């Protein structure tokens, strides 16, 4: 039985490894960022930890730097993509009610145009 929550079947782990293609926008030793394949805004990037963790709740105290790693990456990527001045939205989806579809923690970075007033863009 396949389990998409396991790293060996995770498509984001395969993107980090380079065995699946992506349009990379940023990488450092702990973080990888690439354009969303189905963008919900003119600029839509996914920022992920290189370590496979399923969601916010799966981050151990030992790995808590993952959260600051992702937000530090936003500080690099937003100016790089020209959306620092105009503004952007950052979103984590966790679990079924939030419609999480990929079970490797990812921070959505959305901008490049006026977003809707709702939380989900």
Reading the block at residue 66, the tokens are 């993952």
**Which string of x and - marks every residue 64-103 that binds ligand AMP (by CB under 6 A)?**
-----------------------------x-----xxxx-
In this structure, are residues 23 and 81 in contact, taking their beta carbons and an 8 Å threshold? no
Reading the block at residue 110, the tokens are 């959305």
- Taking the complex as a whole, the smallest distance from the CB of residue 76 to ligand AMP amounts, in Å, to 19
Cα distances from 96 to residues 36, 40, 103, in angstroms, run: 20, 19, 11
Q: Which does 13 bind (CB under 5 to 8 A by kind): ligand AMP, Zn ion, none?
A: Zn ion
Q: Among residue numbers 9 through 68, which ones bind Zn ion (CB under 5 A)?
A: 10, 12-13, 52
Q: Does 43 bind ligand AMP (CB under 6 A)?
A: no
């Amino acid at each position: 039985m396949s389990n998409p929550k396991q790293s060996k079947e995770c498509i984001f782990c395969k993107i980090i490894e380079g065995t699946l293609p992506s349009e990379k926008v940023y990488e450092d030793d702990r973080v990888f960022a690439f354009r969303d394949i189905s963008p919900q805004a003119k600029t839509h990037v996914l920022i992920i930890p290189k370590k496979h963790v399923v969601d916010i709740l799966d981050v151990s105290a030992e790995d808590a730097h993952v959260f600051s790693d992702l937000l530090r990456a936003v500080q690099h990527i937003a100016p790089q993509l020209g959306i620092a001045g105009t503004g952007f939205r950052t979103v984590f989806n966790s679990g079924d009610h939030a419609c999480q579809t990929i079970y490797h923690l990812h921070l959505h970075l959305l901008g490049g145009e006026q977003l809707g007033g709702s939380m989900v863009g």
